[in-house]
Amino acid sequence: MANQTDEKKGKGTVFVKSEHCKGCSYCIDFCPTGAIGFSKEFNQKGYHFPVPVQAEKCTGCDLCGLYCPDFAIFGVRYKDLEEMRLKQA
């Protein structure tokens, strides 16, 4: 059973290329946990881009990335991120 610290941290995170986003909201609409939402800021194209709003809920499932038509966002599980870092070292 996970302790409270692990639950608060979440299981994954998202990376956003804000300059590629056109504000379609697919990533937000299809996020199963509601972990991402629109930023209050605008990108260079004049669109609000996604940001983690409840990062502790992110599972890193990458549904956001699968639905993004502009490849502006992707999710990664922390365990996979750590494996990638270890391979590069």
Count of domains forming the chain: 1
- Give bridge partners of residue 13 from the DSSP assignment: 76
- Residue 36's nearest CA partner among 75, 80, 7 is 75
- Give bridge partners of residue 16 from the DSSP assignment: 73
Residue 76 belongs to what domain range?
A: 4-88
Tens of pLDDT, residue by residue over 31-72, are 999 999 999 999 999 999 999 999 999 999 999 999 999 999
Q: Say which range, 5-9, 17-21, 42-46, 83-87, has the weakest mean pLDDT.
A: 5-9
pTM of the model: 0.82
CATH number for the domain harbouring residue 29: 3.30.70.20
